[in-house]
Amino acid sequence: MISDALITSSTSSAINYRTEPKSQRYLTSAKDFSCMTSNILVQPGSSPSVQIGEPKTPIFTAAIGSPVRFRMTHPMGTGDSQVFTIHGHQWQRNPYQNNSTIIGNNNLSQWLGSRDNHGSSDHFDLVIDKAGGQFGKAGDYLYTAYLPDQALLGAWGLFRVDTLDNLKNPTRTPGPNAVCSNQQKAPAAAKPARAPILNLDQRFRRAPLNPSARQ
């Protein structure tokens, strides 16, 4: 369930009443937000028992290659329509048989990689035939509401695909990561200013490759 007005009409989006906004994953001084969905990223001062910066939104799990169904709903809120997507997966627009009385493969259905117009009171069945995509790859797949501003407000999470043994007995112990860090990066050295062009004709003349050579 995606909510786009969890607190007020202009704050926090949520998945199943749980939100993971950008403001809770970065220091206020941060400039680089490219790693917002990394599960290594945690706020300084978090509970000592938290070893991995998993999002507080639901982490849905499935065994590699297994069929999966997401039952999607959207309560009343701001009136905005969301675009929901799960990276690396696709599904049928109308996964129904027998006059839509049975959920199943529909050879006449369009295939999608996102669901648009998911607004207030909308609901649908998102049926994935193989968790992990056609090639059955284990990993964490991002599910999110697009446009990105909704994700920044908290409407995103993880669809975790792995073997049953790994899902039951997780052994994820990521180490330090210099790329995904909550610390403020040192500013890059400023590039030297280019000397001004005094003679504007120089812009339209090609300089010789070897000025010292005789013409």
At 117-140, the pLDDT tens digits run 787 778 899 999 999 998 999 999
- Whole-number percent of the chain with pLDDT over 70: 69
**Pick from 22-36, 73-87, 101-115: least confident:** 22-36
- pLDDT computed for residue 88 by the predictor: 93
Distance separating alpha carbons of residues 86 and 113, to the nearest angstrom: 7
Q: Which residues contact 61 (CB under 8 A, 6 or more apart)?
A: 159, 160, 161, 162, 167
**Pick from 131-145, 146-160, 199-213: least confident:** 199-213
Question: Which domains does the chain show, CATH number per domain?
Answer: 2-204 (2.60.40.420)
At 48-102, the pLDDT tens digits run 444 456 788 999 999 999 999 999 988 877 767 788 899 999 999 999 999 989 9
Mean pLDDT score, 133-161: 87
Whether 106 and 59 have beta carbons less than 8 Å apart is answered as no
pTM of the full predicted structure? 0.72
Q: Which residues contact 111 (CB under 8 A, 6 or more apart)?
A: 90, 91, 92, 93
Residue 207 backbone zone (phi > 0: left; psi -120 to 50: alpha; other: beta): beta
- pLDDT computed for residue 49 by the predictor: 43
**58: Cα within 13 Å, side-chain hemisphere:** 11
- pLDDT computed for residue 102 by the predictor: 93
